[in-house]
Amino acid sequence: MSKIIRINTKERTFNYSEPDEEFAGLGGRAFTSRMILKEVPATCHPLGKHNKLVFAPGLLAGTGAANSGRLSAGAKSPLTEGIKESNAGGLAAQKIARMGIKAIVLEDKPEDDKWFNIVIKKDSVEIIPAGDLKGKGTNETISKLWEKYGKTGVICVGQAGEQLMISASMQLADPNGRPGRAFGRGGLGAVLGSKNIKAIIIDDAGSKRVDIADKDAFTAANKIWSKALTDHPVSGEGLPAFGTAVLVNIINEAGAFPTKNFREGRFEHAHDISGEKLSETITERKGVVSEGCHPGCVIKCSQVYNDKDGNYLTSGFEYETIWAFGANTMIKDLDDIAVLDKLSDEYGLDTIEMGVTIGIAMEAGVVPWGDGKKAIELLEEVGKGSALGKIIGNGAAFTGKAYGIDRVPVVKRQSLPAYDPRATKGVGVTYATSPQGADHTAGYAVAPNILSVGGSEDPLKKGNNVEVSRNLQIATAAIDAAGLCLFVAFPVLDHENGVQLIVDLLNAQLGASLTTDDVVALGTQILKDEIEFNKLAGFTKKDDKLPEMFDDSFEPHNVKWGYTEQELSKTLDFK
C-alpha cells in the first residue's frame, strides 16, 4: 500500500502521490488523524473548502487476517467541530488495500450544485455525474451501483448527507449489498455531502491480496489469532448467538441501561428488546441470526432482521441502536425499533445520535414518550427535508437548542451511547475525555466495569477508572490503526499473549520487528495527534466534561457522576 489518491472536488480532478515520510507505517486511524492534523486548518468550517475527508484502510487490511476489514474515515467533524475518525466494516477496506491504495483524500468543495460519483479502480479514477442517484436513499443507491458495477465496495450518503445534516453517516455496502454498515458518528456524511459526492465506488477487479513478507509466519499467527477470537466467550459465543444486543439484558441488569433520556438505569421492557428476543424473532421469521460485516470476519455479530411477513427489514441491528431507539425513548416494540434503524440506514443517519435526538424531541413534547409510530413519522421528516427534519437530522444538541431543552446527554456535541456514565464510570471517563466526543468505542471500559473482561473495575466507584479508560483509549487507537474490528479487544484483553498476537501478525506482514511497546506508542501518538488538532481548533479541558444532568443521582444505584475537571484531566495528560 503506497499510493495516495487526492481528489479535488471543485475542479473534479485527481492525482496519485507517494505518502510523505511522516505517514510511513501509518494506517487506519493513525493515518487519517495525522493527515487531518497536518493538512486541515483546525479552525476551518467543517463544511467549507478547507476541510478534507480522508479514507484509510488499516495496516492489516487486504491480508487474510481475521477481522481486519475495517476502514477509517477522518475529517474535522461538523458535529463535534473537533477531529473525527470513524471506522466501519463492509467491503471497501480490503478492496482499497488490494489496489495498493494507502488513502483516498477528498479536498476542496464545488462552487456549483452538481453531484458526482467517484469510481476507483486498480489503475484509474473516474469522477462522473451522479445522475438520478441524487435524492435517493442508500438502499437504492447501492442496488443501482451494484447493478452497474457488480459487487464493489460502495461508500455513499443518503438524503441526510445530501442535506449536510451534521448527524449524517456514510453508509457502506455490506457483503449482501445492503447499507447495513456505517461511518456513523460525527457527521462525516455531511462532509462527503459538502463536496457534492453521492457515492464512492471501489472496484478492485484485477487486484490480489496484499504482499506478505513472511507468509508462513503470517499463516501461523493468523491461525492462533482466529482461534483466540472464536474461543473467547464474548466474541466466540455471545456475539454470534445474539449479536451485540446480547448486552441489553446484561447492561439492564447492571443498572446502567439509560432509560427515558438517561433518567433511570433499568428499562422495565428490556426483555422485549433483548438479544435473546431478537435472535428468537429472527429465527421465527427466517432471517439470519449471524453473519459477518466483511469477508474474513469470524465473529459474525451482524444479522438480517425480517418483518412479520418474513420480508427483509434491516441488518446490522446493533445493541446501541436498539438501546437508542428503545429504552432511551421508552419504545418497547422491536419492530418499530427495526424500522427506525432501517430509516436511519436509508437516509444515512447515525442511529445513536438519532435515538438520543428522538429522546430530546420527547422531552420537548414533539412526540410522546414510548410512541414508536410517532417516532417513525418524526424520523421520516428527515427524508422529506422539512423544517422539522432539518432540526432532527442535526442531532441531539441541535434539537435541544431548537426546543430550549437543557437536559441533553452530549459531550463535545456528540450524543452519549448506551451505557450510563454514572454506573459505568470507566466508559464515562472515555465519554468525557476522548478527543472524539462521547464514544463508547473510543475506550470500552464496559469490559472491566461489567463484563469482567480484561480484569475487573467497580463501575460505580472512581477507583482506577481513569487509568482503565486511558489504557483502553490507547489500545483502541492502535486497534483502529491496524484496521481490526474492535471486538477483538475481548479476546486480546483476556488472552495470555494479548497484544502480542496482533504484533505477530503485523511483523509477519511487514517483515518488521515491532514489540508491544511499539503498539502502545502508536496508540498514544494517535491520541496526541487528535488532542493537538482539537487544541488548535480551540478545545480546552473545559470541553472534557459531562453535561450537568449527570450531577443528579439515578436509580437503581442512587449514584452520581462526580468527577472533577482536575481528575478527568489526568486521563490523557501525555507529556
Contact status: 536 vs a second copy (CB under 8 A): yes
For a second copy, the closer of residues 46 and 137 by Cβ is 46
Q: Among residue numbers 11 through 50, which ones bind a second copy (CB under 8 A)?
A: 42-45, 47-48, 50
Cis omega (within 30 of 0) for bond into 409: no
Query: At closest approach, how far in Å is the CB of 71 from a second copy?
Result: 25
Report in angstroms how near the CB of residue 421 gets to a second copy at its nearest: 17
Q: Is 258 left (phi over 0), alpha (psi -120 to 50) or beta?
A: beta
Q: Which of 36, 164, 349, 396 lies at the binding interface for a second copy (CB under 8 A)?
A: 164
- DSSP per position, 504-566: HHHHHHHT----HHHHHHHHHHHHHHHHHHHHHTT--GGGSS--GGGGS-BBTTTB-----HH
User: Which residue in 69, 179, 359, 547 binds a second copy (CB under 8 A)?
Assistant: 547
The alpha-carbon radius of gyration of the chain (Å, integer) is 22
Q: Return the number of other C-beta atoms located less than 10 Å from residue 188's C-beta.
A: 33
Helix (H) or strand (E) holding 466: helix 465-482
Q: What is the largest CA-CA distance in the chain?
A: 62
- Which lies closer to a second copy via its Cβ, residue 129 or residue 538? 538
Which residues in 171-190 contact a second copy (CB under 8 A)? 190
Determine if 515 is a binding residue for a second copy (CB under 8 A): no
CB 312 within 8 A of CB 304: yes
Please name which of 555, 557, 568, 573 lies closest in space to residue 458, comparing C-alpha atoms. Answer: 557
The distance of closest approach from Cβ of residue 165 to a second copy in the complex, given in angstroms and rounded to an integer, is: 7
Grid cell at residue 56 = 484509510
CB of 425 to a second copy, least distance (A): 20
CA distance 49 to 535: 21
Among residues 538, 558, 573, 574, the one that binds a second copy under rule CB under 8 A: 538
Closest approach of a second copy to the CB of residue 406, in Å: 4
For the bound state, the minimum distance from the C-beta of residue 326 to a second copy, rounded and expressed in Å, comes to 25
Q: Of the two residues 221 and 572, which places its CB atom closer to a second copy in the complex?
A: 572
Q: Does 227 bind a second copy (CB under 8 A)?
A: no
Q: Which is nearer to a second copy, 122 or 260 (CB)?
A: 260
Find the binder of a second copy among 132, 208, 311, 387 (CB under 8 A). Answer: 387
Which residue among 18, 253, 335, 548 contacts a second copy (CB under 8 A)? 548
Contacts of 280 (CB under 8 A, 6+ apart): none
Please, which of residues 388-417 interact with a second copy by CB under 8 A?
A: 388, 390-391, 394, 398, 401-404, 406
The helix/strand/coil state of 4 is strand
Pairing state between β 101-107 and 53-57: antiparallel
d(Cα 94, Cα 88) in Å, to the nearest integer? 12
Lay out the sheet containing 116-121: strands in order across: 124-129, 116-121, 197-202, 153-156, 170-172, 181-183
Cα(466)–Cα(570) distance, integer angstroms? 7
Shortest distance in whole angstroms from residue 387 CB to a second copy: 4
Among the listed ranges 25-33, 86-94, 320-328, 384-392, the one in contact with a second copy (CB under 8 A) is 384-392
Query: Residue 223 to residues 58, 66, 300, 521: CA-CA distances in angstroms?
Result: 20, 9, 17, 26
- How many residues bind a second copy, per CB under 8 A? 36
Distance in Å, CB of 300 to a second copy, minimum: 37
State which of residues 543, 559, 571, 572 lies at the interface with a second copy (CB under 8 A). 543
Looking at beta carbons only, is 190 or 451 nearer to a second copy? 190
Q: Which of these segments, 100-108, 332-340, 381-389, 443-451, binds a second copy (CB under 8 A)?
A: 381-389
- Return the amino acid letter for 270: A
| Closer of 247 and 375 to a second copy (Cβ) | 375
Is 185 or 545 the residue whose CB approaches a second copy more closely?
545
Residue 136 or residue 412: which is nearer to a second copy going by CB? 412
Closest CA to 59 of 97, 86, 95: 97
513 near a second copy (CB under 8 A): no
Which residue, 189 or 454, is less far from a second copy as judged by CB? 189
Phi then psi for 446, rounded to 5 degrees? -55, -30
Question: In the complex with a second copy, which residue's Cβ is closer, 86 or 534?
Answer: 534
Return the SS3 of 73: strand
Binding site for a second copy (CB under 8 A): 42-45, 47-48, 50, 163-166, 190, 193-194, 386-388, 390-391, 394, 398, 401-404, 406, 536-540, 542-543, 545, 547-548
